[in-house]
Amino acid sequence: MKNPRALALDILGDVYLNGQFANLALKQRLQNYSDQDKNLTSALVYTTLRHQISARAQWIDLVEIKPKEKIGLIIDLAIIQLFYFDRLPEYAIVDESVELAKKDHMSSAGLVNAVLRRVIERGQKELVGKDDIETQALNLSIPLWIYKLWVKQYGADVAYKMAQSMNTEAQLCARINTLKADPKEIYADDRVIKGWLSPVSIKSSASLLNSDWFKEGKIVIQDEASQWVAYFSGVKANDRVLDLCSAPGSKSTAMAAIMNNTGEILACDLYENRLELVRQQADRLGVTNLKTLCIDGRLLKDQHPKPFDVILVDAPCSGLGVLRHKPDIKVHLKPETLDELITLQAELLESIAQLTKINGTLVYSTCTLNRKENEFQVLNFLNRHPEYVLVEERLLLPHETDSDGFYMAKLKRLK
């Protein structure tokens, strides 16, 4: 059995070197460990993912030749422990890091030892870039290209606050499942904090995942912003609803609860294994008005000519609004990926343009903060489809709402 620091290094290697998602790597590697080891390992991994850019800037000037990435990760992990964890003694951090490096090569161990001792001697240095924007990006530990995008689109002040909020750990949030629970019963518990964005959201000082409420399907883990999409859609009893990109099913089941299991929800996704997550969640929550269909959403119009009252396109996106929960997006996302996503989003919208009933509703949502994927995507759709009008749009910024960053637009088909 490995200790938490060695486990954290393995998981960071999975993310940075092998392209894995952090949550999946953690789940895979921590199956047989104690809760204490799981908690410390997770804290080390997620703190490193949040602050790795800043951590590397603390030591990279001390080496003439950049070490190979695994050794760099060992030093990054040590820097994180030195500057972001109070209870870990410096000597233990250095010794453990040297031992991890020895498994690579003795010369690597010497480099790690020398770099860390120089960092400790120097202390946490001020990070300064070529200009104010780069300096802020370094200190906020956000890729420069993402920060420049935000500054250009939202202004320097908002961009700074967004990036700052993304480095905070998000408090676990849940939705009360009104198909199985009375919100008054749950809100009466002293440990529960009522959310303000969604009418059925809760946060709690107790462990929600281990609660009887969760085990009995009375609550489901879901961020408030994601919950709000279902209410924003305006679904009502007996509607025929399409959720085009439905997995893992949080929004589909939220709409089912609003509809009180009346009408019909068709939940689609490209992958059968992801649709199985939708079905499992629907079963756990007591949802009975939901059917699933494994299909490329761009081809749906050829199989389902019957129109829908409400269509939700919760589109694949860059995920820049959920960096609090998924800081590994900063590792995986590349500038060229944005153009591919924007094209896919447009194709999905185009594919269902004729599937909305006259006077029906089309909702487009993303969990990103990028106008090209959000406002401009909707504007381009409206320019192509004058039969639609924009009814309402909303941008949720994490530093304002204490939720994930989300965009949603509600369109009405007139003819």
Catalytic residues: 367
Residue 378 CA to its chain's centroid (Å): 22
3-state secondary structure of 336: helix
Strands (E), 177-263: 192-194, 201-204, 219-221, 240-243
Task: Tell me how far apart the alpha carbons of residues 361 and 13 are, in angstroms, rounded to a whole number.
Answer: 45
What's the token pair of residue 56? 């590397």
From the CB of residue 269, how many other CB atoms can be counted at a distance below 10 Å?
Answer: 24
Residue 365 CA to its chain's centroid (Å): 14
Residue found by looking up tokens 């990760």 in the block: 73
Residue 5 CA to its chain's centroid (Å): 24
Tell me what percent of the chain is helix, strand and coil, each rounded to the nearest 5: 50, 15, 35
Tell me the C-alpha to C-alpha distance, in Å, between residue 252 and each of 73, 292, 361, 364: 40, 10, 16, 14
Task: Tell me how far apart the alpha carbons of residues 219 and 275 are, in angstroms, rounded to a whole number.
Answer: 20
Looking at residue 393, its amino acid is E
3-state secondary structure of 64: coil
Task: Tell me how far apart the alpha carbons of residues 337 and 71 are, in angstroms, rounded to a whole number.
Answer: 28
Task: Tell me how far apart the alpha carbons of residues 143 and 137 are, in angstroms, rounded to a whole number.
Answer: 7
Buried/exposed code over 321-358 (b: 16+ C-beta within 10 A; e: otherwise) = bbbbbbbbbbbebeeeebeebbeebbebbebbbebbee
Tell me the C-alpha to C-alpha distance, in Å, between residue 38 and each of 20, 28, 35, 121, 368: 18, 11, 5, 31, 29
From the CB of residue 52, how many other CB atoms can be counted at a distance below 10 Å?
Answer: 24
